[in-house]
Amino acid sequence: MWNAVCQQLSEVLHQPFEIVKKSEIPGHDYERRFKISNGAVNYLVKVARVEALERFECEAGNRALLIRDSDFLIADSILIGTTMEFAYHVIEWVTTEPQQDNWFECGVLLGKMHSRNEQKMYGLESDNYLHTQIQPNRWHKKWDTFYAEERIGWQLQLLAEQGVEFVEIDAFVETIRAMLPHQVEPSLLHGDFWRGNIGFHESKPVLFKPACYYGDREIDLATSELFGPLPDAFYQGYESIAPLHHGYEQRKALYQLYPILHQANMYAGNYLVQAKNKIYEILK
């Protein structure tokens, strides 16, 4: 496989590329990650079974969206390829330094990205992936319909296919729709915005692993609080650009349900308990 990577990199770079150093980075069970270098330039290489080709292509498209429509530092996709067994994704290498964080600026940049509002519908031109799970993005004119059907209904259906049913799906989808009466401007979302997908390079905020679509900007904010809130400076920076609307605290539980259901589908265990509890909290 590495011969194929080097050959394709050489073609893209218009000069020979030979790996002189390669080290594996601890990652996820669904893909392996490597740092490769020719002695002058480093790249990140993600490797998975060949079936991951579409997922890598979606990731590259999402990175391109963020590069185009945000001021975050985003590692660009260099190339995607396959062998008989594997798919690989070569990405720019960005070194992050935790000690050089700038959370206020991170909030400012997210607020600016959310404020562009250049799209008039909710969704994306194609489905993409949240981790290894398909994320449906059919265009909708109404936010309540998009979120209730394409996010909550979808996740509940996936759970039902595994024999897990917390509620009657159609009825709960209608409940979610009824609880989201406000019509919001569609914002480009990162889609998986939490501390683990944020870094800093020379104090410049960096985003990783996008799962983009156009939706309510509060989605990214709610997700940022789910696994432990970010530093206060982040939220101060965000609200200096894009103050939150009245009622966010009430909607937050609705918006945190989606990533919790996703985790329940992916990993089961305690996430199923969390999902059940969050649903009952919403239904109170």
Alpha helices in the chain (DSSP H): 2-13, 53-69, 103-114, 143-145, 154-161, 169-178, 218-226, 232-241, 248-267, 270-283
CB atoms within 10 A of CB 67: 15
- DSSP of 62-74, one letter per residue? HHHHHHHH--SB-
Which residue among 76, 101, 127, 192 is the active-site one? Answer: 192
Name residue, tokens 């390079």. Answer: 201
Secondary structure of residue 42 in the 3-state scheme: strand
Q: Is 28 helix (H, G, I), strand (E, B) or coil?
A: strand
Long-range contacts of 113-118 (CB under 8 A, 24+ apart): 113/66, 113/69, 113/70, 113/71, 113/72, 113/187, 113/188, 114/187, 114/188, 114/189, 114/217, 114/220, 114/242, 115/187, 115/241, 115/242, 116/69, 116/187, 116/188, 117/185, 117/186, 117/187, 118/69
**Considering just the CA atoms, what is the radius of gyration of the chain in Å?**
20
Residue 192 annotated as catalytic: yes
Contact between 241 and 117 under an 8 Å Cβ cutoff? The reply is no
**In this structure, is the dihedral angle defined by the CA atoms of residues 116, 255, 106 and 190, taken in order, positive or negative?**
negative
CB proximity list for 118: less than 8 A, separation 6 or greater: 69
Which positions are annotated as active-site residues?
Answer: 192
